[in-house]
């Protein structure tokens, strides 16, 4: 009776490929956790992006693994990446570094999900490990003293003039507690006396 029911619904109750799914899922989550939690987060302290990256990586993995079961052509494959291309953060401007990490998370999830039997486990481990080594090297050695940027809404509108640069810099350092290298005044709203300031710091 149960066999007839499953045949009617055209659904398989058990498929040996489930073990491949579980192994690939654990492997993907392991490497994403290293990148997001142990490489990205200690440098930025952005918990919201940790949440976002892990979920996007998880959904990307499941979507890619499911599409691997179908005979998709080049057009469908390009359409898949077009879906990822429409991801936008409309509430705030996402920085290029965060976009790069997003691309890494999506790329590795696709690789781990769609790797065929022609690619050995050692090669998959090598691909993921190489990415982690490069990112860690850039973050903690080569690029460790790079400038960081933060956007500040500044209300002392009278200090945005060029002749008050040093006074405004000192005020920003006192308020933010940062050692500021330089800053740029962006959009200015004279209706509520505020200015958008890009602060660059070590």
pLDDT in tens, 109-135: 988 888 776 778 888 899 999 999 999
In whole numbers, what is the pLDDT of the chain averaged over residues? 80
196: left (phi over 0), alpha (psi -120 to 50) or beta: beta
pTM confidence score: 0.68
What confidence tens digit (pLDDT) does each residue in 20-56 have?
888 899 999 999 999 999 999 888 788 888 998 999 8
Q: What is the pLDDT of residue 67?
A: 75
Q: Over 50: is that where the pLDDT of 97 sits?
A: yes
What confidence tens digit (pLDDT) does each residue in 144-183 have?
666 777 888 999 888 988 899 999 999 999 998 888 888 9
Structure tokens at 31: 């490497």
Query: Of the candidates 10, 116, 128, which has an alpha carbon nearest to the alpha carbon of residue 64?
Result: 116
Q: What is the pLDDT of residue 65?
A: 82
Report how far residue 101's alpha carbon sits from residue 25's, in angstroms, rounded to the nearest whole number: 19
180-189 and 194-201 beta bridge pairing = antiparallel
What's the chain's length in residues? 202
Q: Is 107 helix (H, G, I), strand (E, B) or coil?
A: helix
Q: What is the pLDDT of residue 186?
A: 86
Query: Of the candidates 136, 110, 138, which has an alpha carbon nearest to the alpha carbon of residue 124?
Result: 110
Mean predicted confidence (pLDDT) in 53-64: 88
Structure tokens at 57: 């990586």
Q: What is the pLDDT of residue 1?
A: 47
Report how far residue 121's alpha carbon sits from residue 126's, in angstroms, rounded to the nearest whole number: 8
Burial class (CB in 10 A: 0-12, 13-18, 19+), 116: exposed
Residues 6+ apart with CB under 8 A from 131: 31, 35, 104, 108
Report how far residue 199's alpha carbon sits from residue 7's, in angstroms, rounded to the nearest whole number: 63
Q: What is the pLDDT of residue 181?
A: 87
Round to the nearest angstrom and report the end-to-end CA distance of the chain. Answer: 69
Q: Over 70: is that where the pLDDT of 82 sits?
A: no
DSSP structure class, residue 10: T
């Amino acid at each position: 009776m149960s066999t007839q029911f499953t045949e009617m619904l055209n659904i398989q109750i058990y498929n040996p490929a489930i073990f491949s799914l579980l192994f690939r899922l654990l492997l993907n989550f392991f490497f994403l956790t290293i990148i997001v939690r142990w490489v990205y987060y200690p440098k930025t302290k952005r918990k919201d992006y940790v949440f976002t990256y892990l979920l996007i990586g998880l959904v990307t993995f499941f979507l890619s693994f499911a599409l691997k079961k179908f005979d998709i052509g080049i057009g469908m494959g390009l359409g898949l990446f077009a879906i990822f291309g429409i991801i936008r953060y409309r509430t705030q401007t996402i920085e290029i570094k965060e976009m790069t990490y997003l691309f890494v998370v999506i790329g590795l999830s696709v690789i781990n999900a769609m790797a065929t039997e022609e690619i050995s486990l050692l090669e998959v481990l090598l691909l993921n490990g190489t990415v982690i080594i490069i990112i860690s090297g850039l973050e903690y050695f080569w690029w460790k003293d790079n400038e960081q940027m933060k956007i500040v809404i500044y209300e002392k509108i009278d200090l945005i003039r060029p002749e008050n640069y040093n006074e405004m810099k000192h005020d920003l350092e006192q308020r933010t507690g940062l050692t500021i290298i330089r800053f740029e005044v962006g959009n200015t709203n004279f209706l509520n006396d505020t200015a958008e300031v890009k602060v660059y710091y070590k």
